[in-house]
């Protein structure tokens, strides 16, 4: 055992000195930065899609524009972009912060007052009521005269960020614009759209991206529905009542059986294991690859025989596996520390409160514990298989062919990540938990469920037994393979090695 640890320690030191090790450690901050920064870049560089409308009715488009203007104004109040206060006119800037501070219902009341001739509620402050009454028409004018460009700067939610109406109605010209990609699509609203919905068209060269079609279609549908209701003499309030959709409030069962409201932190918690699985997979891949490379390097460097004159083949194999496990644990510990620093330390230091309580998700001892345990078990399982096969090869190219089947199995968890994350206790997830090569990944994937204690116990026992069997088989191959030269043996020969009785017990010196 002592000698095994000597081998392990040397292996560890050697790996820590490699570029691969530092690349492995630094990958985490790089991924974190990418995850944090890339969506912002994508958001900032998105180009709004241009569209045009030929309105044969002559009324629908105006109504849609009006509705859109109101919706956008609502976004102005709810999602105002920080730092753009300078763009507000002076009269509005004075009391705008007060409006921003109101709850959604009061804001809706103000929108209703400004655009639908509604009445202001009594619960608004006197000052605010006065300001609004005094500046009502100025606000409406200011808003109506803003360009799309100006509007889009005021809030990220305003529609001009995504879609912009181009004032062209000439068919020939529209076709040309679509050809030259100056226009994403144009709509034709048929004359009898309210009567029977006929004559509507959506023309575009890109029919896979349906965002614009769905968005504009919904706006027109709403107008058409309102028209039909009013033509049928249905009272406006009744129409609203009929139109009102039922929305279910997301609730989850707490530990004590009481229901709790679902918030974004719960959703983050639900999906956190997927992130853990991803890193679990990467770390198992990196470390088993390292093990194979080192084994073959030692063999091709002709060091094996010298080593075997001092230690048994089993000690050598065990030492290598332990040494690289140590390397792997160092990498994932560094990752966890960096991730915790990034999600907890950084916001704390900067005094920012994250919209989602990631710290509790990240630092969840259940997740962290599962991560470390399944890293070790998963690594050991694949390490045994790959070190056995690797010992038969004289160079990496030979190894690539021989370990291909194992690597194909290693790929499976990546494809399972999302389906299992969506349904962590579904039958697919449950069944695959009992397949030892997949157990570490699938069980990590399900950690938010979490699986029942029985499942943890049974799958872990199954996995540990498989690891023991894998080691036993690997040892049989390794002690012969590591001294083998020439072409690596085929499947039949490997099978013969596995069946061959062990000539003599090997005791570690």
Partner 1 sequence: MNSIELTSVNKFFGEHHAVSDMSFEVPEGAVYGFLGPNGAGKTSTIRMIMSILYPDSGTLKVLGDDQPERVKDRLGYLPEEKGLYKKMKVKEIITYFGTLKGMSRRDAAAEADKLLVRFGLEDAASKRCEEMSKGMGQKVQIISTLIHDPALVILDEPFSGLDPINVELVRDIILDLKHDGKTVIFSTHIMEQAEQICDSILLINKGVKLLDGKVAEVKGQFSSTLLVDYDGDPANLNRPGIVRVNNMGNSAELSVEEGADTQALLRELMDAVKLNSFTLKEPSLHEIFVRTVGESDT
CB of 160 or CB of 316, closer to partner 1: 316
Interhelix angle for 236-243 vs 211-231, to 10°? 140
How far is residue 92's CA from residue 155's CA, in Å, rounded to a whole number?
Answer: 16
CB of 14 or CB of 112, closer to partner 1: 14
Residues 6+ away with beta carbon under 8 Å from 435:
442
Question: At closest approach, how far in Å is the CB of 504 from partner 1?
Answer: 4
Of the candidates 472, 467, 290, 309, which has an alpha carbon nearest to the alpha carbon of residue 390? Answer: 290
Question: At closest approach, how far in Å is the CB of 82 from partner 1?
Answer: 53
Say which residue the tokens 């400004």 belong to.
114
Question: At closest approach, how far in Å is the CB of 392 from partner 1?
Answer: 15
**Contact present, 120 and 111 (Cβ < 8 Å):** no
HSE-CB for 48 with a 13 A CA cutoff: 18
Residues 6+ away with beta carbon under 8 Å from 380:
321, 325, 467, 471
Pairing of strands 251-253, 259-261: antiparallel
CB of 119 or CB of 302, closer to partner 1: 302
CB of 318 or CB of 437, closer to partner 1: 318
Question: At closest approach, how far in Å is the CB of 356 from partner 1?
Answer: 45
In the structure encoding, which two tokens stand for residue 446, read together? 């399900």
Phi and psi at residue 302, to the nearest 5° = 60, 30
CB of 312 or CB of 433, closer to partner 1: 312
How far is residue 193's CA from residue 213's CA, in Å, rounded to a whole number?
Answer: 16
Question: At closest approach, how far in Å is the CB of 391 from partner 1?
Answer: 14
Question: At closest approach, how far in Å is the CB of 439 from partner 1?
Answer: 36
Phi and psi at residue 225, to the nearest 5° = -60, -45
Question: At closest approach, how far in Å is the CB of 26 from partner 1?
Answer: 20
CB of 5 or CB of 70, closer to partner 1: 5
**Contact present, 320 and 387 (Cβ < 8 Å):** yes
In the structure encoding, which two tokens stand for residue 211, read together? 């965002």
CB of 135 or CB of 299, closer to partner 1: 299
Question: At closest approach, how far in Å is the CB of 205 from partner 1?
Answer: 58
- The alpha carbon of 35 is separated from its chain's Cα centroid by a whole number of angstroms, namely 9
Say which residue the tokens 């107008």 belong to.
223
Of the candidates 339, 343, 364, 356, which has an alpha carbon nearest to the alpha carbon of residue 279? Answer: 339
CB of 393 or CB of 444, closer to partner 1: 393
**Contact present, 429 and 423 (Cβ < 8 Å):** yes
Return residues touching partner 1 (CB under 8 A). Answer: 3, 6-7, 10, 14, 17, 301-303, 305-312, 483, 503-504, 506-507, 509
In the structure encoding, which two tokens stand for residue 68, read together? 């859109």
Question: At closest approach, how far in Å is the CB of 318 from partner 1?
Answer: 14
How far is residue 156's CA from residue 79's CA, in Å, rounded to a whole number?
Answer: 7
Question: At closest approach, how far in Å is the CB of 472 from partner 1?
Answer: 18
Proportion of the chain in helix, strand, coil states, percent, rounded to 5: 70, 5, 25
CB of 12 or CB of 216, closer to partner 1: 12
Question: At closest approach, how far in Å is the CB of 2 from partner 1?
Answer: 8
Question: At closest approach, how far in Å is the CB of 400 from partner 1?
Answer: 22
Of the candidates 352, 353, 334, 332, which has an alpha carbon nearest to the alpha carbon of residue 265? Answer: 353
CB of 131 or CB of 327, closer to partner 1: 327
CB of 126 or CB of 302, closer to partner 1: 302
How far is residue 443's CA from residue 476's CA, in Å, rounded to a whole number?
Answer: 30
How many CB atoms neighbour CB 149 within 10 A? 10
SS3 76: helix
CB of 180 or CB of 309, closer to partner 1: 309
């Amino acid at each position: 055992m002592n000698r095994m640890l000597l081998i392990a320690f040397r292996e560890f030191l050697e790996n820590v000195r490699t570029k691969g090790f530092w690349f492995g450690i630094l990958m985490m901050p790089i991924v974190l930065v990418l995850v944090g920064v890339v969506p912002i870049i994508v958001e900032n560089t998105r180009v709004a899609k241009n569209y045009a409308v030929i309105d044969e009715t002559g009324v629908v488009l105006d109504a849609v524009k009006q509705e859109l203007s109101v919706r956008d104004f609502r976004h102005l109040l709810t999602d105002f972009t920080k730092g753009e206060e300078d763009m507000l006119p002076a009269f509005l800037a004075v009391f705008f912060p007060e409006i921003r501070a109101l709850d959604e219902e009061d804001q809706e009341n103000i929108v209703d007052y400004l655009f639908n001739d509604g009445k202001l509620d009594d619960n608004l402050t006197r000052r605010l009521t006065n300001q609004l009454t005094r500046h009502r028409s100025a606000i409406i004018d200011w808003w109506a005269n803003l360009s799309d460009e100006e509007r889009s700067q005021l809030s990220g939610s305003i529609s001009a960020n995504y879609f912009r109406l181009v004032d062209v109605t000439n068919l020939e010209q529209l076709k040309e614009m679509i050809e030259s990609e100056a226009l994403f699509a144009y709509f034709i609203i048929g004359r009898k759209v309210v009567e029977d919905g006929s004559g509507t068209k959506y023309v575009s060269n890109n029919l896979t991206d349906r965002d614009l079609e769905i968005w504009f279609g919904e706006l027109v549908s709403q107008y058409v529905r309102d028209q039909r209701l009013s033509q049928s003499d249905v009272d406006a309030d009744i129409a609203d009542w009929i139109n009102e959709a039922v929305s279910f409030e997301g609730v989850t069962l707490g530990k004590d059986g009481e229901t709790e409201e679902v918030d974004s932190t719960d959703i983050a918690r639900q999906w956190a294991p997927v992130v853990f699985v991803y890193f679990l997979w990467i770390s198992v891949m990196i470390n088993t690859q390292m093990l194979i490379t080192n084994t073959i390097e030692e063999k091709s460097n002709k060091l094996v025989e010298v080593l075997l004159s001092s230690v048994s083949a089993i000690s050598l194999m065990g030492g290598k596996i332990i040494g690289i496990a140590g390397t792997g644990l160092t990498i994932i510990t560094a990752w966890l520390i960096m991730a915790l620093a990034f999600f907890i330390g950084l916001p704390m230091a900067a005094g920012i409160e994250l919209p989602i309580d990631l710290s509790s998700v990240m630092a969840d001892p259940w997740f962290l514990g599962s991560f470390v345990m399944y890293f070790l078990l998963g690594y050991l399982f694949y390490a045994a298989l790959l070190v056995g096969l690797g010992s038969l090869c004289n160079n990496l190219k030979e190894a690539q062919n021989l370990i291909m089947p194992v690597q194909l199995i290693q790929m499976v968890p990546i494809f399972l990540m999302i389906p299992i994350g969506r349904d962590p206790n579904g039958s697919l997830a449950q069944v695959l938990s009992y397949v030892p090569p997949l157990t570490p990944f699938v069980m990590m994937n399900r950690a938010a469920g979490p699986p029942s204690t029985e499942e943890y116990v049974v799958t872990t026992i199954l996995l540990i037994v498989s690891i023991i069997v894998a080691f036993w088989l690997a040892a049989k191959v390794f002690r012969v393979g590591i001294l083998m030269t020439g072409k690596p043996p085929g499947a039949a020969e490997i099978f013969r090695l596995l069946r061959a009785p062990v000539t003599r017990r090997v005791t570690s010196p």
